[in-house]
A and B are shown apart, each in its own frame.
Chain A
């Protein structure tokens, strides 16, 4: 009896999702490389496309880590040869470096605005354009109303939006589907090989609509994301003590 009840609830939840504007095509390839864990946090166990994702960070180092994770996601979105738009008012992205994330930097159009205020407008216009693979917007503050406008735009056009919010002072609610926080982790090379290894990040899914938040350790190597099973917390401690 209990089983059937759970089934009914699951079915109902599935029916509600499209009503909430969740139109993600099932079985998309984004985050496929990562063993199920991150994808399972989302409804239908698939990375939501046609939605707005929000990334919070502070500091230039975390900005780079966040940009790295977004670039890795972008690579699988743009694999079909699409173009995307990167909107910012204080851009530090170094276009040639995007190549190492399997992206074609010439397929990304950078919009460098002078005023921070114009970014939400530009982002909304870009998200309405259904010929794009993704739109990335760097901004500090995003009001609830503005985030709802963006959400409505993507529901129409099915473009995926990434908002990179730096040094945000108030963590207000937003209509974005997910809120992430990416921080860097020390890299590791096998054995005693000296040098810097592949980038590693601590990926935190702080909020997700209809899903389960969680934390993962991810390494980006050879053009794909990979979950690190061994938690290097102890190693980190040892390293700190011994220098």
Chain B
């Protein structure tokens, strides 16, 4: 299949943008100017100004002499590059590979894209219509090579679509400057009377190279399609993805494992080269019957360790049902982060939370039992016992405050306080007896009370008076009375925890 390229040329990129922002300007001639060697030089002129003889490179004073009512705006450096980048990103709807052709063009690799819009003609007119609607004056052409499409877009009057293999015919009538040559070469060609491509295209190559240099021949070959030209798309296609098509459909578990291993090897090698590590990865198998089997894994830290990632996937490989067979495997790293190899060296066998072995262990556990089972706690600024700690977001979360150990807290605490029956002598004295789960405990020693008030801005309710109590067998409990001690008996006693 021959490659197809579309070149879009914006005749007045920057001035059209000014008109888009201030529609009134379309009625008046205006120019953009920037200082150069102590004078203002025209960098862009709109269509109205150009018809009256103003062109880029003129000094502003001269332009003003031609049109006294000329409006002059300051040109912003890098404006055209910024506009082109935005337009290139917008053009990704037409093809995944869009490249910027400075200073005022875009190159689209549209190989295999045009049929989705019906035909090449509809495709191209579709693009032109949308861009014209934005207010840009655009010229575009489609051809097998970048050279031809750019020449036709900029210099030809019509024939927007150059049919496949007919580059030479399309180029013949165009001026020699259409071949994207250096200005000196164009000048020399002019001097020799070689104004059109047709004048020199049939000349012997050796003679052309001697007179105009190697670059001239390269441009000619690129336009004719004898030499490959590559573009650098603005958005690389699906960054961290690997594909493995299979000659025959894979049905066995061993086959799937081999496929995964191969994909991982290439992906991890690439990640390692770029000093990156993946956080989530998606492994997909495209089945013969059109279904897509997929499994996903996540890691705590960016990783490009093939062995470790394979282990994570291994736990879930059973979920893939090959049925009639899988013909294409893809592996995609949907979330990639920087993983500096220097840091890794430091972590190795250091122990503590930074240990790479620990994060790999947690990945494995999360893969099998779910990440919501893994908890790490950091202190929180609350006196209310249930709120005195909170779940850490990840292993790296630093402590915002310190752990407090100034007040006795039970080593084991019930998730919800359990009601108990209590005999307490006088207000604010610790209880003498309490009954918990049918067993009577006689309190020998006790500390307290420690009053903890409700945090009214978070929750309404009664305060708690906590007592640390030890019974005759030496068991230590954390009891509290919820509410004030009063005659109406609105208070309640609870058991909340056990001390070591």
Partner of A97, one of B368, B375, B411, B474: B411
Kindly state the separation between the CA atoms of A95 and B415 in the bound complex, as whole angstroms.
12
Partner of A83, one of B352, B470, B477: B352
State which of A44-52, A112-120, A205-213 sits at the interface with chain B: A112-120
* Contact A196/B447 with A67-B412, A186-B474 known, Cβ cut-off 8 Å: yes
Question: Is B160's beta carbon under 8 Å from chain A?
Answer: no
Contact A199 B373 (CB under 8 A): no
* Contact A187/B389 with A61-B475, A82-B351, A83-B352 known, Cβ cut-off 8 Å: no
Closest beta carbon of chain B to A206's beta carbon, Å: 20
Kindly state the separation between the CA atoms of A141 and B364 in the bound complex, as whole angstroms.
24
CB-contacts of B167-205 with A (<8 A): none
State which of A1-9, A32-40, A123-131, A168-176 sits at the interface with chain B: A123-131
Partner of B377, one of A95, A111, A239: A95
Residues of A within 8 A of B445 (CB): 186-187, 194-197
Closest beta carbon of chain A to B289's beta carbon, Å: 35
Contact A122 B411 (CB under 8 A): no
Contact A100 B405 (CB under 8 A): yes
* Contact A96/B404 with A83-B355, A111-B374 known, Cβ cut-off 8 Å: yes
Total residue contacts A-B, CB cutoff 8 A: 185
Question: Is A43's beta carbon under 8 Å from chain B?
Answer: no
Residue of B405, B414, B474, B477 with most partner-chain A CB within 10 A: B474
Residues of B within 8 A of A100 (CB): 405, 408-409
State which of B136-144, B223-231, B279-287, B492-500 sits at the interface with chain A: B492-500
Contact A199 B355 (CB under 8 A): no
Contact B474 A71 (CB under 8 A): no
Kindly state the separation between the CA atoms of A101 and B365 in the bound complex, as whole angstroms.
28
Question: Is B128's beta carbon under 8 Å from chain A?
Answer: no
**Chain A 70-98 interface mask (CB, 8 Å, partner B; 1/0):** 01000000001111010000001111111
Kindly state the separation between the CA atoms of A57 and B388 in the bound complex, as whole angstroms.
29
* Contact A240/B472 with A96-B379, A110-B376 known, Cβ cut-off 8 Å: yes
Question: Is B77's beta carbon under 8 Å from chain A?
Answer: no
- Report the contact-size class of chain B (Cβ under 8 Å from the partner): 35 or more
**What does DSSP make chain A's interface, helix, strand, loop or mixed?**
mixed
* Contact A94/B361 with A82-B352, A105-B389, A187-B476 known, Cβ cut-off 8 Å: no
Contact A81 B476 (CB under 8 A): no
Kindly state the separation between the CA atoms of A97 and B351 in the bound complex, as whole angstroms.
23
Residues of B within 8 A of A240 (CB): 472
Kindly state the separation between the CA atoms of A82 and B388 in the bound complex, as whole angstroms.
24
Contact A81 B377 (CB under 8 A): no
Chain B: which residue is nearest A92 at the CB level? B412
Closest beta carbon of chain B to A231's beta carbon, Å: 13
**Chain A 181-205 interface mask (CB, 8 Å, partner B; 1/0):** 0011111000000111101110000
**Chain B 472-484 interface mask (CB, 8 Å, partner A; 1/0):** 1111110000000
CB-contacts of B354-378 with A (<8 A): 355-358, 360-362, 364-365, 368-369, 373-378
* Contact A199/B499 with A129-B357, A187-B476 known, Cβ cut-off 8 Å: yes
Closest beta carbon of chain B to A196's beta carbon, Å: 5
Partner of B444, one of A121, A132, A239: A239
Kindly state the separation between the CA atoms of A113 and B371 in the bound complex, as whole angstroms.
10
Question: Is A109's beta carbon under 8 Å from chain B?
Answer: yes
Contact A64 B474 (CB under 8 A): no
Partner of A114, one of B373, B442, B468: B373
Question: Is B220's beta carbon under 8 Å from chain A?
Answer: no
Contact A110 B405 (CB under 8 A): no
Partner of B500, one of A110, A118, A129, A199: A199
Residues of B within 8 A of A18 (CB): none
Residue of A69, A108, A129 with most partner-chain B CB within 10 A: A129
Residues of B within 8 A of A128 (CB): 361
Kindly state the separation between the CA atoms of A201 and B500 in the bound complex, as whole angstroms.
8
Residues of A within 8 A of B378 (CB): 106
Closest beta carbon of chain A to B346's beta carbon, Å: 13
Residues of B within 8 A of A65 (CB): 500
Contact A109 B474 (CB under 8 A): no
Kindly state the separation between the CA atoms of A63 and B472 in the bound complex, as whole angstroms.
17
Partner of B446, one of A82, A92, A195: A195
Kindly state the separation between the CA atoms of A220 and B476 in the bound complex, as whole angstroms.
14
Closest beta carbon of chain B to A155's beta carbon, Å: 17
What 4 pairs between A and B have smallest CB-CB spacing?
A: A68-B500, A131-B355, A64-B498, A94-B413
Given A94-B497, A110-B376, A197-B445, 13 new contacts (CB under 8 A): A61-B498, A71-B411, A80-B351, A83-B353, A95-B377, A101-B411, A109-B358, A111-B374, A184-B474, A186-B470, A196-B445, A199-B500, A220-B500
A-B contact pairs, 6 of them (CB 8 A): A64-B497, A82-B352, A107-B353, A108-B376, A131-B355, A187-B445
A residues engaging B (CB < 8 A)? 60-61, 63-65, 67-69, 71, 80-83, 85, 92-101, 104-114, 118, 121-122, 125-126, 128-133, 183-187, 194-197, 199-201, 220, 239-240, 243
